[in-house]
Structure 1
Amino acid sequence: MRRHAISPALRGARTSLPVALVGALALTALPEAAHAAEDYTVQPGDTVSAIAARHGLRTVDILAGNALGWSSVIHPGQTIRLVGSAAAAPAPTPPPAAPAPPAAPTGYTVQAGDTISAIARAHGTTTDAVLAANGLDRSSIIYPGQTIALPAALAPAAAVTPVVAGLDAEQIANAQVIVRVGRELGVSSRGIQIALGTAMQESWLRNLDWGDRDSLGLFQQRPSSGWGTEAEVSDPVRATRAFFGGAGDPNGALTRGLLDIPGWEAMAYADAAQSVQISAYPERYAQWEAPAALWLAALG
């Protein structure tokens, strides 16, 4: 969360790589097959990931074989050694198991400070399931001493990781957190897309334990700027709630989230993200508008 500037070198590393290169991280654990090494002369417009894909190789092997890093820049005329292993085809996704019949709901007595979403998380179920079990909607208010029905906890085995183009399992898990929190807070789909693209730009949708100065987490929020303690800004759920802000902002009035920006709905995608992040490179958020829409469509 950006009340600070990111160094050009670091920001360049995040934005010069296309989505396909970011997604190539997921290939590093795939089975390997031998491949004869040969030389390749870089052409205008080439990227390491594109060269790897064209020759059936893994990006990470070409980088390692040429002493390059993820932030390295290649130039037309440069010779690249095509070394490494062929990328194996992913294993077919097994069909999901048939859902078990729902168990009878149990009761819970509301405590001071409780919210439906917090109660749902604590009991291994979803906000929508608790609302449905009690005939409530997202605008309903609960009170201390009130008894609400709790549907059965979700079985862990029932969870199936969706396939999302350009994202690996870690990125998908973090994107799911952003989508879930946004839905719980009643944020529009466009607002959730802005959050997804912002997190991709700031952290590659990874819960980073490092960043510029004291920036941490999905949104690179800074403890020194009031976004919370190191542990708090490293909590994906809390960090997402702080990014959205509004009535559910865990920072209260100390920071300003997307829902606190007057007229954010009518802003350009990058301008809305920048209004929260205050980045030194505001134009770089725009590149994630179209991918974020696809991610949200896949994650629901």
Structure 2
Amino acid sequence: MAVIRKTSMGIPLALVAALATAFQPGSAATADVRTSPEPLDGHRSLPAQPPAAPQPASVPAAATVPTTYTVASGDTVSGIAARFGLDVKAVLAANGLGWSSVIYPGQSLVLSTGSDAAPSLAPAPAPAPNAAERSYTVVAGDTLIGIAKAHGTTVSSILAANGLTRSSIIYPGQIIAIPGGEAAAPAPTPAPARAPAPAGSDATTPLTAEMHANAALIVAIGRSLGVSDQGLVIALAAAMQESGLRNLDHGHADSVGIFQQRPSQGWGSPEQIQDATYSSTAFFVGVTGKTRGLLDISGWQDMSVTDAAQAVQISAYPDAYARWEQSARVWLSEL
């Protein structure tokens, strides 16, 4: 057995030699000691400087409110007001508009006039999502009745869930809440275009300046509501049969206006009905709780022009609208 020699202090010579080698300058052990992140006394050393406090993210400046704004396709008064942080009521008042007024692409709206500028409002927090609701993004050609049918709900429920009325306008890109909790269905495939009615004894009726202006208004309002071309043809044929596309102050019984709507049947006051914008909007969406508009008629897209018009107008001559279908299609293509 090998005998380990000891020093006078009782430490084996082999251990002394190993320790001496380990602590030679430049040895691995020495380097390990010098570069160790922990101090020899076992306590972690403090950093030379405390970390810098995070800087708050810069808040984007509010959009500058221009004096006027030119309406673009798809714009609404509420959307424009929200974009610039303005009160919708103030924008309406500054431009002499009402809640049922229709704005058009290219129209100039007053937003700021110095001391008369519409008051700015802080944006309201978005409402907490309801577990029983889903959202749906409106696409071109959508109608409230079509969206309601696709999601198994009713137009009234959608109006209530979104704070809308029968005269409200929906536009492509708008996100609306769908009550009932069903997943959003894909947008319905548009039905193939109907073939024009065969030419008969009635040639296409030319439009006078007055008739052209009223027809253009009907089409513009229908487009803003997402009504299809077929719906616009129905409206034009109905207005032509009822008034010759003229805004009349008289008619059968108490009928007045482009669509000869009757105050006694709930369509509104005589003054309202003779407002062409009001009466045209009412033809499409009806008057809440009183009359039905075209978009409230179940399956109107699959009806003939005369049947769909009759479902809204309830005329004593239900077949009379058919004679204007060919002309209405020509007018629409011209408009």
Relative to its length, the structure with more helix (as a share) is 1
TM-score calculated relative to the size of structure 1: 0.49
Q: Which has the higher contact order (CA 8 A, sep 6+)?
A: 1
TM-score calculated relative to the size of structure 2: 0.44
Highest CA radius of gyration, 1 or 2?
Answer: 2
